[in-house]
């Protein structure tokens, strides 16, 4: 009750001036009943609080893009702040979880300059999300890629091998993990030996296996099963088509080749 009174008092005193910070996605199904605070739906509270805000900061991948609650089949109808609020500037600070230094950096920018930082096409501040993880990854200097989970476990972390073949989504993920890092600069997931999951990109949870390399088809089992149930002649045709699909997928989704990695400074 005290927290709600403080929020309402702040909204009244600083009407039109305050920065609204939202954490979490917003359930919309059945009137938003799947998430409530003090008896009110989050949907209702967001719409009310947004009216008097100068701008909104959507903290975390849930608030920015819907996150895991938004993942298929999304039983609560969870959506991002930007799916509901259309008439206010929104700064997305995704990450699952978001990096604390990035959060404070964005808030400090607004408090210092009174302006919204320059954003990319997904509403993320370019100063933190302008480069991909891969652009800044120290493993990009490695000329050796780990090629199987056992190799990764045994050698890749110690040797600093690139984790691309083990499913690292660093080439298609934009965030500051490789520069700011975590725990006051101690480390980040790739430095600890695990590929990037792509958590600061929209719909990362539905984007296929975390352990499938970007150059491979998302579901190789599906291709194999389709060929098995078809007749011999059809099977040959399907197999040929699948090889073409795989080749196309490799071309379309492989943003970096080993040669590219070796060129990295």
Q: Sign of dihedral through CA atoms 11, 13, 19, 23? A: negative
Confirm or reject binding of residue 139 to ligand SF4 (CB under 6 A): yes
Size of the site for ligand SF4 (CB under 6 A): 15
Q: How many residues does the chain have?
A: 265
| Identified binder of ligand SF4 from the candidate list 32, 94, 98, 170, rule CB under 6 A | 170
CA 177 to chain centre: 12
Q: Which is nearer to ligand SF4, 124 or 134 (CB)?
A: 134
Structure tokens at 126: 């370019």
The Cα-based distances of 161 to 7, 32, 207, 257 in angstroms read 49, 46, 24, 14
From 26, 78, 99, 133, residue interacting with ligand SF4 (rule: CB under 6 A) = 133
Return the range that interacts with ligand SF4 (CB under 6 A); candidates 3-11, 166-174, 215-223, 238-246.
Answer: 166-174
C-alpha–C-alpha distance, residues 256 and 39, integer Å: 50
Tell me how far, at minimum, the Cβ of 258 lies from ligand SF4, in Å. Answer: 10
Residue in 67, 69, 77, 140 binding ligand SF4, rule: CB under 6 A: 140
Q: Among residues 117 and 160, whose Cβ is nearest to ligand SF4?
A: 160
Contact 92, 116 (CB under 8 A): no
Is residue 194 a contact residue for ligand SF4 (CB under 6 A)?
no
Q: Cα(219)–Cα(239) distance, rounded to whole angstroms?
A: 15
Closest to 142 measured CA to CA, from 161, 169, 170, 155:
161
Stretch that binds ligand SF4, among 18-26, 93-101, 110-118, 133-141 (CB under 6 A): 133-141
Applying CB under 6 A, which part among 113-121, 136-144, 229-237, 246-254 lies near ligand SF4?
136-144
Rounded Cα–Cα distance for residues 56 and 175 (Å): 20
Q: Which of 99, 177, 190, 199 binds ligand SF4 (CB under 6 A)?
A: 190
The SS3 of residue 79 is strand
Contacts of 115 (CB under 8 A, 6+ apart): 109
Q: Among residues 46, 137, 177, 213, which is the contact residue for ligand SF4, using CB under 6 A? A: 137
Say whether residue 177 binds ligand SF4 (CB under 6 A). Answer: no
Told to check if 174 binds ligand SF4 by CB under 6 A, we report no
Chain contacts with ligand SF4 (rule: CB under 6 A): 133-134, 137, 139-140, 162-164, 168, 170-171, 190, 195-196, 261
């Amino acid at each position: 009750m005290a927290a709600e009174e403080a929020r309402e008092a702040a909204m009244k005193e600083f009407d039109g001036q305050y920065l609204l910070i939202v954490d979490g996605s917003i359930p919309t199904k059945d009137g938003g009943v799947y998430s409530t605070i003090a008896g009110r739906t989050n949907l209702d509270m967001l719409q009310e609080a947004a009216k008097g805000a100068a701008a909104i900061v959507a903290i975390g991948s849930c608030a920015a893009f819907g996150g895991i609650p938004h993942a298929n089949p999304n039983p609560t109808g969870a959506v991002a702040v930007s799916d509901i609020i259309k008439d206010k500037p929104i700064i997305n600070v995704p990450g699952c979880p978001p990096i604390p230094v990035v959060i404070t950096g964005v808030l400090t920018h607004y408090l210092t300059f009174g302006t919204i930082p320059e954003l990319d096409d997904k509403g993320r501040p370019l100063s933190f999300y302008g480069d991909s993880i891969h652009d800044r990854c120290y493993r990009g200097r490695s000329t050796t890629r780990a090629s199987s989970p056992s190799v990764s476990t045994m050698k890749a972390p110690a040797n600093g091998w690139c984790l691309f073949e083990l499913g690292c989504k660093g080439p298609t993920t934009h965030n500051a993990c490789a520069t700011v890092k975590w725990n006051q600069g101690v480390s980040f997931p790739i430095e600890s030996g695990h590929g990037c999951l792509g958590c600061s990109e929209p719909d990362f949870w539905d984007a296929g296996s975390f352990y499938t390399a970007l150059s491979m088809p998302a579901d190789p089992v599906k291709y194999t099963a389709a060929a098995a149930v078809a007749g011999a002649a059809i099977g040959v045709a399907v197999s040929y088509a699948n090889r073409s699909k795989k080749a196309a997928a490799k071309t379309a989704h492989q943003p970096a080749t080993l040669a590219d990695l070796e060129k990295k400074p």
